[in-house]
């Protein structure tokens, strides 16, 4: 690790870029593109201000009244910049207060890029202005009396290491924060870096989608790897960093093909697949990974959050809202991964039919098991050679896949539990033809009845 500069200074000195205790530390503050957004809300702001008010009453006027903590910076010698690696939440909050204190002059001139950060800064500015005022801040807060310890590295790799491991008074980094830093850091061209930083900030449901992608990639027949429980935050974070940071490649040379052959089946009638990236493909650090994630985040939004799409049959959304939204969180997730795999491979032309038969297989656990937990899904995928994702991704045609799914049979179990009764009641609102014996429930017979009802429903929707 390269030499690290350390200095104690006031917030006034930090904002001015002139550190008296160590002249080697100088430059304008900036936020690296790979940093997480500014996320502090009223609770965190009030805590900081309360600590400052309280400490002021117990210190003499000449001593720093409040120790802000340590701030980790990366010194960019060439551009005379001090990049904030750890401490953005505190520094940005104080910068907003400085902005109010100085009559809204733009001091300090920190450049913020992330759209989410800009929104939160504006929100917190309104809150601070409404709750307090310029006079109160000038009376009770002197940045000459707020002390901070600076830890400054001149090597970006060291800064990145600190970014991943430190949690000095801020909001703890998630696995997604860390892989964001990893991939944006790999994009060295500044303009392109900013472009992909904005792309990342605009991604919706990002934590959830990353979780789906990990399962889609790990739960495979060739090299099945268990996924940590969602309750195990620490191990979940490790798995995200391992799969989408450590195992992404610096150089990528991989042999794989995903093309569509039409007409007579010769290579003169090839079509490009509906999606550029395959869900299980090798990933390269930087642009490749961010584009991959962007594709699946948008696809997830299109399939499971939107309520209409010009390329998707309206009946799909009706079915999704009536049936899939009523299932357990684990079954819903299982279904969503399978359907992402399907659309990634075959597109949306036959999505309605596929959605029903994917449901038939994934939700079988609701009718054959009294309790469906996270472990239940992993065991189900490994049992009876039922590697559903592999079945979808290895099928050559939609028809081949559907015929395979139709062969699936439910296990036999008697006596319905209340949670199963509730779900079947909801099910019959959509699959009106399905039949079952409440008193002598037989999962196997119910499965056969549901197959017939699915075929009838698809036929009706097609007319």
- pLDDT tens for residues 41-80? 998 998 888 888 776 665 555 545 678 888 888 887 776 7
Highest averaged pLDDT of the listed ranges 41-50, 382-391, 417-426 = 41-50
pLDDT tier at 264 (50, 70, 90 boundaries)? low
Mean of all residue pLDDT scores within the chain: 83
| Residue whose C-alpha is closest to residue 15's, from 191, 150, 200, 183 | 150
- Do 316 and 289 lie in one domain? The reply is no
- Do 164 and 16 lie in one domain? The reply is yes
Q: What are 296-310's pLDDT values in tens digits?
A: 999 999 999 999 999
pLDDT tier at 169 (50, 70, 90 boundaries)? very low
- Do 253 and 111 lie in one domain? The reply is no
Query: Looking at residues 169-197, what average pLDDT do you find?
Result: 77
- Into how many domains does the chain fold? 3
- Do 335 and 453 lie in one domain? The reply is yes
pLDDT tier at 120 (50, 70, 90 boundaries)? very high
Q: What are 429-439's pLDDT values in tens digits?
A: 899 888 888 77
- Do 90 and 64 lie in one domain? The reply is yes
Q: What are 141-161's pLDDT values in tens digits?
A: 888 888 888 888 877 666 555
Please provide the distance, in angstroms rounded to a whole number, between the alpha carbons at the two ends of the chain: 69
Higher-pLDDT residue of 264 and 22 is 22
pLDDT tier at 21 (50, 70, 90 boundaries)? confident
Q: What pLDDT score does 158 carry? A: 61
Q: What are 342-382's pLDDT values in tens digits?
A: 999 999 999 999 999 999 999 988 888 777 888 888 888 88
Q: Report the share of the chain in percent with pLDDT over 70.
A: 85
Highest averaged pLDDT of the listed ranges 6-10, 107-111, 373-377, 397-401 = 397-401
Residue 248 has pLDDT above 50, yes or no: yes
Q: What pLDDT score does 18 carry? A: 80
**Residues 302/294, Cβ–Cβ less than 8 Å:** no
Residue 170 has pLDDT above 50, yes or no: no
Q: What pLDDT score does 118 carry? A: 87
Query: Looking at residues 268-294, what average pLDDT do you find?
Result: 87
- Do 269 and 348 lie in one domain? The reply is no
Q: What pLDDT score does 250 carry? A: 66
Query: Looking at residues 409-434, what average pLDDT do you find?
Result: 83
- Do 102 and 178 lie in one domain? The reply is no
329-346 and 287-300 are packed helices; what angle lies between their axes, rounded to 10 degrees? 110
pTM of the model: 0.72
- Do 243 and 359 lie in one domain? The reply is no
Q: What pLDDT score does 257 carry? A: 62
Q: What pLDDT score does 172 carry? A: 58
Which of 148, 172, 196 delimits the end of a domain?
A: 172
Higher-pLDDT residue of 214 and 387 is 214
- Do 292 and 411 lie in one domain? The reply is no
Q: Which residue range forms the structural domain that includes residue 148?
A: 4-172
- Do 164 and 185 lie in one domain? The reply is no
Residue 412 has pLDDT above 60, yes or no: yes
Q: What pLDDT score does 77 carry? A: 72
What is the phi/psi pair of residue 328, to 5°?
-65, 160
- Do 285 and 351 lie in one domain? The reply is no
Q: What are 95-109's pLDDT values in tens digits?
A: 998 888 876 555 567
Which of 269, 303, 337 delimits the end of a domain?
A: 303
- Do 187 and 282 lie in one domain? The reply is yes
Q: What pLDDT score does 267 carry? A: 63
Which of 271, 303, 335 delimits the end of a domain?
A: 303
């Amino acid at each position: 690790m390269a030499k690290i500069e350390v200095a104690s200074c006031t917030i006034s000195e930090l904002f001015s870029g002139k550190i008296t205790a160590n002249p080697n530390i100088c430059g304008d503050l900036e936020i690296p593109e790979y940093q997480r957004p500014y996320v502090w809300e009223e609770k965190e702001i009030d805590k900081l201000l309360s600590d400052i008010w309280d400490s002021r009453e117990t210190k003499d006027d000449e001593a720093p009244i409040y120790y802000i903590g340590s701030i980790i910076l990366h010194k960019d010698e060439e551009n005379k910049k001090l990049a904030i690696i750890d401490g953005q939440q505190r520094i940005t909050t104080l910068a907003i207060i400085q902005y109010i204190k100085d009559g809204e002059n733009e001091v300090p001139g920190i450049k913020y890029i992330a759209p989410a950060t800009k929104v939160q800064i504006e929100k917190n500015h309104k809150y601070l202005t409404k709750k307090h005022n310029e006079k109160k801040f000038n009376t009770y807060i002197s940045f000459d009396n707020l002390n901070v310890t600076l830890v400054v590295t001149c090597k970006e790799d060291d800064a990145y290491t600190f970014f991943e491991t430190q949690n000095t008074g801020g909001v703890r980094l998630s696995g997604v924060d860390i892989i964001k830093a990893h991939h944006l850091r790999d994009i060295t061209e500044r303009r392109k870096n900013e472009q992909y930083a904005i792309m990342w900030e605009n991604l919706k449901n990002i934590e959830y989608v990353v979780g789906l992608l990990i399962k889609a990639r790990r739960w495979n027949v060739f090299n099945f790897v268990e996924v940590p429980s969602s309750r195990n935050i620490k191990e979940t974070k490790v798995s995200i960093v391992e799969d989408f940071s450590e195992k992404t490649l610096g150089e990528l040379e991989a042999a794989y093909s995903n093309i569509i052959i039409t007409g007579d089946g010769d290579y003169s009638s090839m079509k490009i697949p509906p999606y550029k990236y395959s869900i299980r493909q090798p990933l390269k650090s930087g642009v490749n990974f961010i584009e991959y994630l962007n594709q699946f985040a948008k696809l997830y939004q299109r399939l499971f959050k939107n309520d209409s799409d010009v390329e998707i049959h309206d009946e799909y959304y009706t079915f999704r809202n009536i049936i899939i939204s009523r299932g357990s969180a684990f079954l819903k997730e299982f279904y969503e991964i399978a359907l992402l795999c399907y659309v990634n491979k075959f597109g949306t032309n036959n999505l309605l039919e596929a959605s029903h038969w994917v449901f038939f297989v994934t939700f079988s656990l609701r009718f054959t098991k009294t309790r469906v937990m996270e472990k239940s899904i992993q065991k189900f995928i490994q049992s009876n050679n039922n590697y559903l994702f592999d079945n979808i991704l290895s099928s050559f045609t939609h028809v081949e896949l559907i015929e395979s799914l139709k062969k699936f049979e439910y296990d036999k179990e008697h006596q319905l539990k209340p949670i199963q009764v509730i779900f079947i009641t909801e099910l019959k609102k959509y699959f009106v033809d399905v039949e079952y014996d409440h008193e002598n429930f037989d999962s196997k017979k119910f499965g056969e009845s549901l197959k017939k009802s699915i075929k009838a429903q698809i036929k009706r929707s097609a007319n």
